[in-house]
Amino acid sequence: MLANVSAVLFDLDGTLIDSGLDFQLLRKNLACPADVDILSYLADLPTPQQRAEVEQTIHEFEMAGAALSTWMPGAEALLEALARAGISTGIVTRNTRAAFDVCSKRLAIPPIDVITREDAPAKPDPTGLLNLAAKFSVLPGNAIYVGDYVYDLQAARAAGMRSCLYDPGGDASFADLADIRIRHFDQLATLLNAAINTR
């Protein structure tokens, strides 16, 4: 399943880090319907003033979460192991660059290539994933994307990459869309280590 992996790409919030964000509360504050993507809701607002107000609310929400962020169990160790193994790693996130910078400083995230929603269309659009793979000179089929939400799995599939669902609770309703499902990053580390050692 993980043969020929040359790059491992990650989602940020809910995958590598936990910022404790309550998206249901955000939707309530924005009057965003439960079945509508928040960023799509923002883009479709009718006036520039409405968009500016909602964008500011989202920004404050993300920055507050970033300021409280913590590593997910095993995530930091996995990044360190991938660096030692010479595997290209990167992050494709729907967050802003400013929110990532706060997380990076707080958690001392090692230097890593990051694509935010300012750099490419937000997932499930695959552009960010494809751009990062191209930067690494890695074919999409030789990359795996790790995330915790259905948009991550959809983006990976659209990009032609393998997908890994980080599902610590083991109860994601969309798990059947993933190529691999893990509950702890130690599991992914074991799979990747086995793939690297059989090259």
Q: What is the pLDDT of residue 197?
A: 60
Tens-place pLDDT, residues 152-185: 999 999 999 999 999 999 999 999 999 999 999 9
> Does residue 199 surpass a pLDDT of 60?
no
Instruction: Show Cβ contacts of residue 97 under 8 Å, excluding neighbours closer than 6 positions.
Output: 114, 116, 118, 119
- Locate 145 and state its tokens: 């994307």
The span from the CA of 195 to the CA of 199, in Å, is: 7
The residue segments making up the domain with residue 83 are: 7-19+71-197
Mean pLDDT, rounded, of the chain: 93
Q: How many domains is the chain partitioned into structurally? A: 2
Is the predicted pLDDT of residue 196 greater than 80, yes or no?
no
Whole-number pLDDT of residue 90: 98
For the stretch 62-108, pLDDT in tens is: 999 999 999 999 999 999 999 998 999 999 999 999 999 999 999 99
Q: Is residue 146 part of a domain?
A: yes
Type of residue found at 170: G
Mark whether 57 and 144 lie in a shared domain.
no
- Gap between the Cα atoms of 184 and 161, Å rounded: 21
The length of the chain is 199
- Judge whether residue 35 has pLDDT over 90: no
In tens, the pLDDT along 103-148 reads: 999 999 999 999 999 999 999 999 999 999 999 999 999 999 999 9
**196 or 184, higher pLDDT:** 184
Domain match, 143 and 96 both = yes
